[in-house]
Amino acid sequence: MPRLYDSVSSADAGAYADEADDHFHDECGVFGIFGHDDAGALTALGLHALQHRGQEAAGIVSYDGAQFFTERHIGLVGDNFTKPSVIARLHGNRAIGHTRYSTTGGAVLRNVQPLFAEFAGGGFAVAHNGNITNARTMQRALRKRGSIFQSTSDTETLIHLVATSDRSSFIERFIDAIRQLEGAYALVGMTDKKLVGARDPLGVRPLVLGDLDGAYVLTSETCALDIIGARFVRDIEPGEVVVITNDGIESLHPFANTPSSRFCVFEYVYFARPDSIVANKNVYDVRKRIGAELAREAPVPADVVVPVPDSGTPAAIGFAEAAGIPFDLGIIRNHYVGRTFIQPTDSIRHMGVKLKHNANRQILEGKRIVLVDDSIVRGTTSLKIVEMVREAGAAEVHMRIASPPTTDSCFYGVDTPEKSKLIAARMNLEELARYIKVDSLAFLTIDGLYRAAGEPARTNENPQFCDACFTGDYPTRLTDRAENNGDPQLSLLAEVG
């Protein structure tokens, strides 16, 4: 039976609170490659391109025909996977990798993916983007049957379901397992013979197929294909399972009566990298169209359009072009800010936003400013940004948000506050405008967001996206939440993928 040789970093990243961070965080990115002699190094490069999807931890598992090898580390990909000695330990012509943003419980090594288990028929490694909304319920049942969990990750639920399945082949057991899952998942898995990819029946999270000189690649975004010079082949379809072996690739569709796709619309708003192609749409172009829709829906007389960098930049460009108002960089971002490096006293915490952003006074002074950002979650950053712009001498400050108000928590693999901490769930538009101290405030409508993404106006009968964070319309059952009496905090106790 193949053995797992495991090398892990023991550095404790610690927990840090970033009050200036007022954005959602996607949980992770996944990458897998089959049939290339540099599989370990290419996986590290792919994860580097997916670093925006998770900055707390990263891991790679490779296979050389006889043994599995794994490297799991707390911290950034570039801090851990650029050392030749690390890559040299990832032997083999196939590998999978994962980069992760942790939520409840913090970043600890036992939760760093890919997760690995030895089954009776051999080893299995898996990396997951998304969140299984019945994980806690399934885990309780599995524990009663004797399963022992080593992590707090919902992803480990899949491993135990595969291990306890009574089906004969690995793929049959894998399909039996994912049929029992609810929620969102984009998975890459690896055995001694196969690379496997799967998306949930609604296709909430992205997964694409690429080709590099005959080696197949599975990954979250096309930007990870670009960095290694791979060719984009196609999106993995909602509900599809792909199996890659030395004999080629096989596509399976194990879900009967697959419902309409509900891809996460926030991938277009914020999560995906602007240079990625998502569901056949260039993300940068969609974000520019979002800005143009916003300009048409909420025009305002102004002298200059200023993005809140970097996530607000494409929408601000689209807004400026549609409104006929000059675009300029009135806020400069420091790209070299990481974890808090000094004690967060009250006075230092108040200045925290200036670690990341600084006003460009020459652009702002005496001007009527339109600030464009992608979203408002807690409102803390927006308030500090507006105060900073006013201190730089802006005559008026108008805020335009390139998404609808965020009123509901996400249960599909995104780190979100509970609903009571979402400022748009507690305040109406006028109250929120007063809170962040702007002269006017407007959000993109849900129909405007759909139009920018190339879809008709939203209908309750057949929405094209998962937009639950804006509408409260969750496309799947939230079993764990229901069993915890609807308490969102209890339902989010699991570490999501």
Beta strands in 374-471 (DSSP E): 396-401, 414-415, 440-443, 465-466
The letter for the amino acid at 216 is Y
Nearest to 137 by CA among 478, 410, 488: 478
d(CA 496, CA 409): 14
Concerning whether 469 is annotated as a catalytic residue, the answer is no
Gyration radius (Cα) of the chain, Å: 23
The count of other CB atoms within 10 Å of the CB of residue 359 is 22
Q: How many CA atoms lie within 13 A of 22 on its CB side?
A: 27
- For residues 366-383, one letter each, b for 16 or more C-beta atoms within 10 angstroms of the residue's C-beta and e for the rest, the string is ebbbbbbbbbbbbbbbbb
| Virtual torsion, Cα 104, 109, 170, 200, nearest 10 deg | 30
Tokens describing residue 118: 């030895």
Nearest to 23 by CA among 448, 403, 467: 403
Task: Provide the CA 200 distance to its chain's centre, in angstroms.
Answer: 15
Tokens describing residue 266: 């926030």
Catalytic residue among 28, 223, 264, 469: 28
| 3-state secondary structure (DSSP) of residue 400 | strand
Bridge partner residues of 401 (DSSP): 373, 443
Report the catalytic residues. 28
